[in-house]
Amino acid sequence: MKYTVLIVEDEQIVRKELEQNPLFGKLGLTVICSCDNGIDGERLIREKGPDIIISDIRLPGQDGLTMLKNTQSHNAIILSGHSDFEYMRRAILIGVSDYIKKPIDDQELIDSLSRLIKKIRNEEQEMAHLGSHSLPSYIIPLPSKVKNHVIDNAICFIEKNYKESIGLQEAAQHLHVSESHLSRLFKEITGINFMGYLNAYRMNKAVTLMHDPKLNISMVCSLSGFPTPGYFAKLFRRFHSMTPTHFRDTVLPPS
Amino acid sequence: MMRRNTAAVSRSLKNSSLFTRLFLSFFFVMLIPLFFLAVAHIALGNNALHNTLVQQSENNIDIAGERMQHLIDDYRHKAYQISTDDQIRSVVRHQKVSGGEIFERLFSIMSGDTYLATASVVSKDGKVRLSTHLFPEQYDIRYHSNETTPFFEVNRLDEKNSTIITSEYRYLTQTASLVILNILRAIRDDQMQISGYVALDIHQEAFEEITRGLGFSDMLLIDSSNYRATSLVHVDKNGDFSLFPSLETVTFPLTARSYFTSNHIISLFKISNTSLYIAGITETSRYKDAMSQYGLILFAVILIGALIALSVALIISQFIGRPVNRLVERMGKVENGDLTPYRSTSPIKEFHQLEHSFNSMMKQINSLLELTREEADRVREAERKALEAQMNPHFLYNTLNTITSLAKINGQEQIQLISVKLGKLLRNAIDNREAEVTLKESFSLIESYMTIQHIRYGDKLNCTLHLDPSIEEMKTPKLIIQPLVENSIVHGLEMKMGEWLIEVTAQRIGGDIHIVVKDNGIGFDVHKIKPDSSSHVGIGNVRSRLALRYKDRSHLKIESEPGKGTTVTIIIKEQKEGDLP
C-alpha cells in the first residue's frame, strides 16, 4: 500500500525540489499535495488525511508545530534551520517523529522516512489485528480492568476524556508519570499501544454512534473524539477494512 | 626537659584562641596574690611563732627564776638562823638544853614550813642529832668517814661564805616526799671553830609553787658544778645531762638566755650566789603540728581561692571572648559567601563599635556586589543585543538549503554536496552546545570536512577514515580531531606536490583509545618547532582541552620527519576504577 505525503514549506524552490525528489518514489510514497503556509496545511491535513507530513517550523499563518498539534498528527517530520532547544522540546512534546536540520541531506531524510514507514506499518498491523476480532458486532474487544493501578487509571482517563483532544502526553500528565514510562507500561500490560487503544476505543464509540441515523459521519467523528473526518475514515478502514459510509450502507440494517 | 616543656607550652599558646589566652591571663593574675599569701604565711608564720615562743619562754623562766631565788634565799636564811641560834649552838657543844626547848626553837625558825623542808642539826662528832623529821641517815657522821659525809665540802669553806646549796643528796622522807635540794651550813663556836652542821632539805612540794602556771612542758633544776639536773615536774627524772636530750646544746657558763634543739626551746635562769640554774623546756613539736594543720587549712583556702579564680576567669574570658568569637564566626560565614549583616549585641563599647563597623562593611560589600551584578546584567544585555544584531545563522542555513535545492533542481550535484556538508560543518562549529560528542559524530564531521576539501582539491586528496565500531559511542570533547586534520592539510599538504594522503584512525588497543591522524605531507623537524607558531594554536588548544577532560590519562604525541609526513597520535588511557569520570 502506498502512503501519502503532505509537504508544507514556504520557500518555493525548496518546496518544488522536495516535490520532485525521486526518493519518495523509491520509498513507495506519493506526495499528494503541498502548500506554503500553516493554515492551508491544517486544512489539507483535515481534508486529505495524509499518512506523513513533512513541514517547516516557521510558516506564514501559523507555525508548523501548532498546525501539527491542532490536527493531532504524530507521523510528521520537521524541517528547520533552527536547532533551537525550545523548538526541539515542543516538537518532542507534541509527538513529532523526527527533526531534520537544514540544509537537508537526502540520506538523512531517507533514513527518517524509512523509520516512519516502519512505525506506521506496525500501527496498521496492530489496528488490523484488533479489528479482526470485532466481528460480527464491529466492537473491538478491549481490556478494561488489568489490575495495574496506573494502567487502570489510564484506561479510566481515556473513557472519560476520549471526546477531547487527548493523547499520551495528557494521560501521562494526568497520572503524574513520564510519557515513556506510561507508553512502555501500557504496551506491556495490555499488549496494545496507548494510541492504538485510544483509537480503538474511539472507534467503538463511533460504531455505536453510527447506529443512530440522525448523525452524519462528521458528527460521529467529532462526538467520538477523532480530530478530522479524513483521519476517522482512514482509521475506520484500517480497523474494519471498509469506509464508514460503506459500513453504514451495507452492515447496519436499515431501521 | 623543663625547657622543652616550656617551649611546647609557648608554641601551643601561639596558636591558642583569644579565649584561652584571656582565661590563662586572668587565672594567673588572680593566682598571684594567693601565691604570695601562701609564701608569706609559710615563711613569716613559722618565724613569728618561734620568736613568740622564745619570748614567752624567757619571760616565764624569769618569773620562775625569781620565785626560785626567793625560795632559796628564804631557806638559806633559815639555815643561817639555825646555825647562829644560841641554843642550838649550845646543844652541839654538848651543853645540856631541854629537849622540848630545842625542838621548839627549830620549829619556830622553820616557822611551819616543815612539810616543805626538813631541818636537821648534827654535832661534829655526831653524838647530837636533831631533826624536824626522822633524822636522815646520810647526815649521821658516825657512820661516814670524813670524806664521804655531805659536810666534807662545808668543812673546806671559809668562815664568811659557809653555805653549800646542792641537789646531790636526794632521799625520801618518812612522809614520802622527795628531797630535791640540800642547803648545808656549818655551826661555829665562839672561836669560830666548826662544832656542828645544819642541813636544810627542801622537798619537792616546795617547788610546785615555782612551776605552777608557766606553761613549760618541763622545768629542770641544773647544777652546773657537777653537771647534773633534776626535773621539777617529773621528779623521778634525775641524773647527768644525758638523761635530758633537750640540754645537749646548752653550755656553761651561759652564752644566751635560750637554747634550741629541733624539738625544744630551753630558757635558763641563773640563781645568784649558787651554781644552780633553773631551766624551762617548751616542746615545739606541739606548735609545729598546729602550724602544719594551719598550713593545711591555708592550702585548702588557696585551693578554693584558685577554683574561684578559675571560674571567675572563665566567666570574664567568656564575657570578653564571646563577641570576638561571634565576629570570627561571622567572618568565617563571609568567607563562605554569606554576606548578610548581623545585629550587634556586645555590651562592651569597643566590640560594639567593631561589630558596627563590620556590619557597615558588610553592607558596603553587599551594595558593591549589587552594583557589580547590575553591571554584569547590563553587559550581558549588551552582549545579547550585539548578538542579535549579528547575522542570524538561521538565515545562513536556510540559504544553504535553498542553494542545495537549486543545485538539485539544476542537477549540480557537487554544489548540492558542498552546501549540505558546509551546513553540517557550520552546525557542528556554531550550533552544537554539547561539550562532548561521540566519536561517530566526530568522524561524521571529519567526513563532511574532507568531502568539501575533496571537492576543492580534486582526486589528488585521498582520505581514509577508520573508526572501530566498538568505540563509536565513546564521547570525547568536541573538535579534537578536526583541528589535527585541518593542520595536516594547511601545514603539511598544501605545499606538497603529488598525491596527498590523510589517514584518520580511531581504535582500541588494549584498554586504551588511540586516535591517529597521519599524512604524507612535507613534515617538519620536531625539534625546531616554534612554540608560538600559528599551527600550534590548534594543537595547543586540543592538548589543553584533553588535559582538562582526562587529567593525565591522555597523551598527545607528534611525530614528523621532513619530506615524509607527520603523525599525530592522541592516546586516551583506560579509566581505572576510582578515577573520576
> B330-370: per-residue pLDDT in tens?
888 888 877 777 766 767 788 788 888 888 888 888 889 89
Query: Closest-CA residue in chain A for B401?
Result: A103
pLDDT tier for residue B581 given thresholds of 50, 70 and 90: very low
Residue B462 lies inside a defined structural domain of this protein: yes
B40, pLDDT greater than 80: yes
The answer to whether B427 contacts chain A (CB < 8 Å) is yes
Give the residue from A102, A107, A109 with the most B CB atoms within 10 Å of its CB, the best one to mutate: A102
The arithmetic mean of pLDDT across residues B233-242, rounded, is: 79
Model confidence at B230, pLDDT cuts 50, 70, 90, reads confident
Chain B residues lying within 8 Å of A101, measured CB to CB? 397, 423, 427
End-to-end CA gap in chain A: 36
Q: Chain A residues contacting B, CB < 8 Å?
A: 11, 13-14, 16-18, 20-21, 81-83, 85, 101-105
**Residue B401 sits at the chain A interface (C-beta within 8 Å):** yes
Q: How confident is the model at residue B580 (pLDDT cuts 50, 70, 90)?
A: very low
- Residues B250 and B43 sit within 8 Å (Cβ to Cβ): no
The DSSP output letter for B431 is I
Tell if the CB–CB gap between B406 and A18 is shorter than 8 Å.
no
Question: Which residues of chain B are within 8 Å of residue A11 when distances are taken between CB atoms?
Answer: 398, 401-402, 405
B434 contact A CB<8A: no
Looking at beta carbons, which residues of chain B come within 8 Å of A17?
404-406, 408-409
Which domain-ending residue is among B329, B362, B388? B388
What's the CATH number for A3-124?
3.40.50.2300
pLDDT of B100 strictly over 50 = yes
Task: Give the contacts of A168 (CB within 8 A, at least 6 positions apart).
Answer: A95, A179, A182, A183, A194, A195
Q: Is the pLDDT confidence value at B82 over 80?
A: yes
Mean pLDDT confidence for B184-201 = 84
B442 and B350 in a common domain: no
Check CB contact of B418 with chain A, cutoff 8 Å.
no
Q: Contact, A13 vs B409, CB < 8 A?
A: yes
Question: Picking from A133-137, B296-300, B318-322, B541-545, which range would have the lowest pLDDT averaged per residue?
Answer: A133-137
CA distance B246 to B266: 7
In a mutagenesis test of the B interface, which of A83, A87, A89, A100 is the best target, namely the one with the most B β-carbons within 10 Å? A83
B473 vs B111, which has greater pLDDT? B473
Cα Rg for chain B, rounded, in angstroms?
64
- Helix A179-190 and helix A194-209: axis angle, to 10°? 70
Dihedral, B343, B349, B350, B352 alpha carbons, nearest 10: 0
**DSSP characters for A96-127?**
--EEEESSPPHHHHHHHHHHHHHHHHHHHHHH
Write out the H or E segment, with its range, that includes residue B327: helix B285-335
Cα angle B457, B459, B465; round to 5:
95
Which residue type occupies B376? A
Q: Which of B93, B95, B161, B102 is nearest to B131 (CA)?
A: B102
The predicted pLDDT at position B9 comes to 56
**pLDDT at residue number B546:** 87
CA distances in angstroms from B241 to B165, B221, B228, listed in the order given: 19, 11, 6
Residues B132 and B213 in one domain: yes
User: Quick one: B443 and B563 in the same domain?
Assistant: yes
Residues B372 and B438 in one domain: no
pLDDT at A8: 94
Give residue-wise pLDDT tens across range B498-507: 889 999 999 9
**Domain map (residue ranges) of chain A:** 3-124, 133-251
Interchain proximity A16–B398, CB inside 8 Å: no
Q: Are residues B246 and B352 in the same domain?
A: no
Q: What average pLDDT does range B531-551 have in this prediction?
A: 76
Return the pLDDT at B531. 53
Q: Say whether both B202 and B271 belong to one domain.
A: yes
pLDDT tens digits along B6-20: 555 555 556 677 788
Choose the weakest-confidence range: A151-165, B424-438, B480-494. B424-438
Averaged pLDDT for residues B434-460: 88
Residue B156 has pLDDT above 90, yes or no: no
* Torsions phi, psi for B572 (to 5 deg): -110, 115
Does residue B403 belong to any structural domain of this protein? Answer: no
Angle between helices B413-426 and B393-409 (to 10 degrees): 160
d(CA B337, CA B450): 51
> Phi and psi of B201, rounded to 5°?
-100, 120
Greatest Cα pair distance in chain B: 197
C-alpha Rg value of chain A to the nearest Å: 19
Question: Is B446 within a domain?
Answer: yes
Q: Say whether both B268 and B365 belong to one domain.
A: no
What pLDDT was estimated at residue B505? Answer: 94
Amino acid sitting at position A157: F
Q: Which residues of B touch A83 (CB under 8 A)?
A: 427, 431
B393, B409, B423 ranked by CB distance to A103: nearest = B423
Q: For residue A171, what is its C-alpha cell?
A: 494521560
pLDDT band of residue B1 (cuts 50, 70, 90) is very low
Does the beta-carbon distance from A82 to B394 stay under 8 Å? yes
**Strands lying side by side in the sheet with B129-131:** B129-131, B117-123, B194-203, B179-188, B163-166
| B420 domain-assigned | no
- pLDDT bucket at B534, cuts 50 / 70 / 90: low
Picking from B353, B388, B423, the residue at the C-terminal end of a domain is B388
Domain membership of residue B64 (yes or no) is yes
| Residue B514: pLDDT over 90 | yes
Cell output for B392:
542570524
Domain boundary pick from B364, B388, B412 = B388
d(CA A1, CA A23): 17
What are the chain A neighbours of B405 within 8 Å (beta carbons)?
11, 13-14, 16-18
| Alpha helices, DSSP H, located in B410-496 | 413-426, 439-457, 482-487
How many structural domains does chain B have? 3
CA distance A59 to chain B (A): 13
> H or E stretch including B259?
strand B258-260
> Where does the pLDDT of residue B414 fall: very low under 50, low under 70, confident under 90, or very high at 90 and above?
confident
Q: What is the mean pLDDT of residues B464-472?
A: 92
Residue found under cell 554536496: B417
Q: Does B257 lie at the interface with A, CB-CB under 8 angstroms?
A: no
Mean pLDDT of chain B: 82
Based on the domain organization, do B343 and B261 belong to the same domain? no
Q: Distances in Å between the alpha carbon of A228 and those of A6, A138, A220, A248, B574? A: 15, 21, 11, 19, 57
- Beta strand pairing call for B461-467 and A98-101: unpaired
Whether residues A13 and B419 touch (CB distance < 8 A) is answered with no
ipTM of the assembly?
0.70
Within-domain flag for B411? no
Mean pLDDT of B135-145: 78
Q: Which residue of chain B is at minimal alpha-carbon distance from A105? A: B420
pLDDT in tens, chain A (255 residues): 688 999 999 888 889 999 988 899 999 999 999 998 999 999 998 888 888 999 988 888 888 888 988 888 888 998 887 666 667 777 777 777 788 888 888 898 999 999 999 988 888 888 888 877 766 778 888 888 888 888 999 999 999 999 888 888 888 889 888 888 888 899 888 888 888 899 899 999 998 888 888 888 888 988 998 888 888 888 888 888 888 888 888 877 665
Contact residues on chain A for B401, CB-CB shorter than 8 A: 11, 14, 81, 102-104
C-alpha cell at A95: 509527538
pLDDT at B441 over 70: yes
Question: In what order do the strands lie in the sheet containing B218-223?
Answer: B238-240, B228-231, B218-223, B276-283, B264-270, B258-260
Interface test with A, best of B408, B413, B431 (most A CBs within 10 A): B408
From the list A14, A101, A104, the residue facing B427 with the nearest CB is: A101
Return the C-alpha cell found at B378.
Answer: 547590563
Say if residue B184 is in the same domain as residue B269: yes
Within 8 A of A21 by CB-CB distance, chain B residues are 408
Same domain as B107, residue B217: yes
**For B402, which of A14, A18, A21 is closest by C-beta distance?**
A14
Using the predicted structure, report yes or no on whether residue B517 has a pLDDT greater than 90.
yes
Domain that holds residue B203: 51-283
Tell me: do B505 and B382 sit in the same domain.
Answer: no
Per CATH, domain A133-251 is 3.10.450.30: no
Percent of chain B predicted with pLDDT > 70: 90
In a domain, residue B527? The reply is yes
The answer to whether residue B305 is domain-embedded is no
Same domain, B509 and B369: no
Cβ–Cβ of A103/B404 closer than 8 Å? yes
Instruction: Please tell me the predicted confidence (pLDDT) of residue B243.
Output: 79
Nearest-CB residue to B427 (from A14, A83, A85): A83
B448 in reach of chain A (CB within 8 A): no
Whether B406 sits inside 8 A of A17 (CB atoms) is yes
